Amino acid sequence: MEDIKIIELFRKRDESAIAELKQKYDKLCVYVAGNILSVREDVEECVNSAYFDVWSNIPPETPDDLKTYLCRIVKNKAIDRLKYNSAAKRSHELTVSLDELAECIPAKAEEELSAAQLAETISRFLHEQDEKHRKVFVRRYWYGDSLARIAKLYDMNEKTVATYLFRTRNKLKEYLRKEGYDHE
C-alpha cells in the first residue's frame, strides 16, 4: 500500500493503518533498531512503541515521507533504550559512530539551531556530495551500520570506508563553519 494511503488510514483513525505500516516497514524498523540494540526484546519494544507514536501523532502531524518519519522515531526510541540499558550492554559500535559525528557539529550549534534547521543543513551538505560518499555516510550515521557491513555492501575495504567517513566528516565540519557555526 502506498504511504499516502497509510497516512490517510491514520487520519481516519482506522486501526488497519498500523497493520499496513507494519506490513510495509517492519523489517526496516527491526533493522534500524537492531543496529543500535542487541537484545531482540528491546528491538521489538522500540518498534512497537514507534508504531504507537505514529498512531498518536497522525493526526495532527502529516509527514511528507512516512518511511523517514517512522525510521527517525524508531532510531530515537532505540537510542533512548540504549541510554537506559546498563553500560555493559551498550553497543560500542553505535557509541563510536555517534561520537564520530558529534565531533563535526559545533557545541554551540545545538543551542543556535533547532533540530529541523540542523537536519536541513546536513541534508543540503549531503546532496552536494557524490552518491557513494553520501550513501556511506547515511549507512554509518543514520542506519548505524558497522564499517565492515558498509564495506561489504559497497564492495570496499574497511579502511577505505573509514577514510570516506573521515573526509566527509571534515567536509561537513567545514560546511557548518561556512554556514556560520564555528567550532572554537
Q: Is 147 in contact with 161 (CB distance < 8 Å)?
A: yes
pLDDT of residue 96: 55
CA distance 101 to 51: 27
**What is the CATH code for 92-178?**
1.10.10.10
Predicted TM-score (pTM) of the model is: 0.59
- Name the DSSP letter for residue 105: S
pLDDT of residue 142: 81
CA distance 19 to 145: 27
Cell of 53: 507514536
Unique residue bearing C-alpha cell 549531503: 126
Decide if domain 3-86 falls under CATH 1.10.1740.10: yes
Report residue 63: phi and psi, to 5°: -65, 145
Nearest partner of 138 among 159, 154, 117, 157, judged by Cα: 154
Long-range contacts of 117-125 (CB under 8 A, 24+ apart): 121/175, 121/176, 121/179, 122/172, 125/171, 125/172, 125/175, 125/176
Q: CA angle at residue 55 from 49 to 58, to 5 degrees?
A: 135
pLDDT of residue 19: 94
Q: Is 136 in contact with 168 (CB distance < 8 Å)?
A: yes
CA atoms within 13 A on the CB side of 131: 1
Q: Where, residue-wise, is CATH 1.10.1740.10 in the chain? A: 3-86
Residue spans of the chain under pLDDT 50: 88-90, 109-112
pLDDT of residue 56: 92
Q: Is 156 in contact with 132 (CB distance < 8 Å)?
A: no
Peptide bond into 106 cis (omega under 30): no
Q: Where, residue-wise, is CATH 1.10.10.10 in the chain? A: 92-178
